[in-house]
Chains A and B, each alone.
Chain A
């Protein structure tokens, strides 16, 4: 299960990097900032959503694999 946690950590880390990027560009003004901000926030949400969905599939696949192994024993 440790590699599963690592994957989640990596994507969380990416999302946190990107959020910091938004916070650390205070001089960025005007419509371009807004557009960049919106697109990046949307991307972060999608990344977090993807993380949950992929993890669910990953766990389901692991469970099915284990069940198949048990059934074969």
Chain B
């Protein structure tokens, strides 16, 4: 007797499958964030890790099944109708932006939503992240940026490294990811509210306004030759992309040297064609796919896919480990890209790093 089940058949719109995949991926991100907040209680944390890991693995499996099935359907459609896929890919990110805008509006209706931010300089330290690791492929220069990003996230602040060069100053801004996953607005500007705002579009999210305030305090754009390199993790990368897309940074008077995004959903961001971008993504990081796009919009957009790490591949520690362990070929390639963004010369002054505490008012 044949005990195999009959072959599965789908009678479902591909959009429904995409939606299902997105909800599953969002749920996974929330479970991970919720679990990370247990770190202060090691027994509950380890017990939770043991209980949740197989459940998350199953959710990832379901999400992948939805996304792959939708992808197969779209591939067939694309072969039959050449313009279908291009049109569909343009349409999908708009749906995500609309959904985020609606969610933000609902949250605002419930008494939450975006608020003004207060940005206070907390300290100044010496030294340069890039100098610490060397340049020109001699060491992993990207690693230095990501380690500084980690230090910024650990401090729960944003940091700006300023160095003076013969042809002008360079500002390197480091923006952390989401720190608070409460459904309603909290005092922390890096919360779910600002996540939704950043996904909805540029110019609204609290961290974007915080970076502009910090740059104004430091006088960015007031001297000839000022340029900026934005580096962000997760939500921070999206915030960086939005700051470039909205023109908020260039409105201050300086120029944009580039954007380094780590684990960020920025593929659907509309950046000027000349903007240099390095986007680092673990292939199993669901957050990078939240905008439902995997495009490389311009020739200056360098996307580095990394081998899967851990169950979800989104932790900053995982990214640090992967970048530290990159092979010589990838390191040389990435360092060459970074060289286009960073001002590197012997006549540079000692860099200073300014740290800013950000909170909602």
The residues of A with any CB-CB pair to B shorter than 8 Å are: 3, 6-7, 9-11, 13-14, 17-18, 20-21, 24-25, 27-33, 35-36, 39-40, 43, 46-47, 50, 53-54, 57-58, 61-62, 65
- Interface residue from B9, B16, B31, B38 paired with A27 (Cβ < 8 Å): B16
Assess the A28–B10 pair: CB atoms within 8 A: yes
A53 to chain B, nearest CB (A): 6
Q: Which residues of A contact B1 (CB under 8 A)?
A: none
Assess the B43–A57 pair: CB atoms within 8 A: yes
Inter-chain CB contacts under 8 Å: number: 98
Assess the A46–B47 pair: CB atoms within 8 A: no
A54 to chain B, nearest CB (A): 4
Question: How many angstroms between the C-alpha atoms of A9 and B183 in the bound complex?
Answer: 8
Interface string of B43-72 (1 = CB under 8 A from A): 110011001100100110010000000000
Question: How many angstroms between the C-alpha atoms of A47 and B44 in the bound complex?
Answer: 15
Which residues of chain B from 23 to 50 have any CB-CB distance to chain A below 8 Å in the complex? 23-24, 26-27, 30-31, 33-34, 37-38, 41, 43-44, 47-48
Assess the A46–B55 pair: CB atoms within 8 A: yes
Question: How many angstroms between the C-alpha atoms of A72 and B275 in the bound complex?
Answer: 59
Residue B310 is within 8 A (CB to CB) of chain A in the complex: no
Question: How many angstroms between the C-alpha atoms of A58 and B41 in the bound complex?
Answer: 7
Residue B307 is within 8 A (CB to CB) of chain A in the complex: no
* Majority DSSP secondary structure for residues of B touching A: helix
Residue B327 is within 8 A (CB to CB) of chain A in the complex: no
Q: Which residues of B contact A31 (CB under 8 A)?
A: 5-6, 8-9
Residue B182 is within 8 A (CB to CB) of chain A in the complex: yes
Question: How many angstroms between the C-alpha atoms of A47 and B30 in the bound complex?
Answer: 12
Assess the A62–B37 pair: CB atoms within 8 A: no
Question: How many angstroms between the C-alpha atoms of A13 and B184 in the bound complex?
Answer: 12
Q: Which residues of B contact A46 (CB under 8 A)?
A: 55
A31-B6, A39-B62 given; A61·B51 CB < 8 A: no
- Interface residue from B33, B41, B55 paired with A43 (Cβ < 8 Å): B55
Q: Which residues of B contact A47 (CB under 8 A)?
A: 31, 55
Assess the A39–B58 pair: CB atoms within 8 A: yes
- Interface residue from B10, B30, B44 paired with A13 (Cβ < 8 Å): B30
Assess the A30–B8 pair: CB atoms within 8 A: yes
Residue B20 is within 8 A (CB to CB) of chain A in the complex: yes
Assess the A36–B37 pair: CB atoms within 8 A: no
Question: How many angstroms between the C-alpha atoms of A13 and B183 in the bound complex?
Answer: 9
Residue B80 is within 8 A (CB to CB) of chain A in the complex: no
Residue B13 is within 8 A (CB to CB) of chain A in the complex: yes
Question: How many angstroms between the C-alpha atoms of A48 and B328 in the bound complex?
Answer: 46
Task: Using CB atoms, name the residue of chain A closest to B59.
Answer: A43
Question: How many angstroms between the C-alpha atoms of A27 and B5 in the bound complex?
Answer: 21
Task: Using CB atoms, name the residue of chain B closest to A39.
Answer: B62
- Interface residue from B5, B26, B62 paired with A17 (Cβ < 8 Å): B26
Q: Which residues of A contact B62 (CB under 8 A)?
A: 36, 39-40, 43
B54 to chain A, nearest CB (A): 8
Residue B11 is within 8 A (CB to CB) of chain A in the complex: yes
A29-B11, A58-B41, A58-B44 given; A14·B6 CB < 8 A: no
Residue B181 is within 8 A (CB to CB) of chain A in the complex: yes
Assess the B183–A30 pair: CB atoms within 8 A: no
Task: Using CB atoms, name the residue of chain B closest to A46.
Answer: B55
Give 9 closest A-B pairs by Cβ, nearest first. A10-B34, A32-B8, A58-B44, A54-B48, A50-B51, A28-B12, A29-B11, A14-B27, A30-B9
Q: Which residues of A contact B23 (CB under 8 A)?
A: 17-18, 20-21
Q: Which residues of A contact B34 (CB under 8 A)?
A: 6-7, 10-11, 14
A13-B30, A57-B44, A58-B44 given; A28·B16 CB < 8 A: yes
Q: Which residues of A contact B55 (CB under 8 A)?
A: 43, 46-47, 50
Q: Which residues of A contact B31 (CB under 8 A)?
A: 10-11, 14, 47
Assess the B12–A27 pair: CB atoms within 8 A: yes
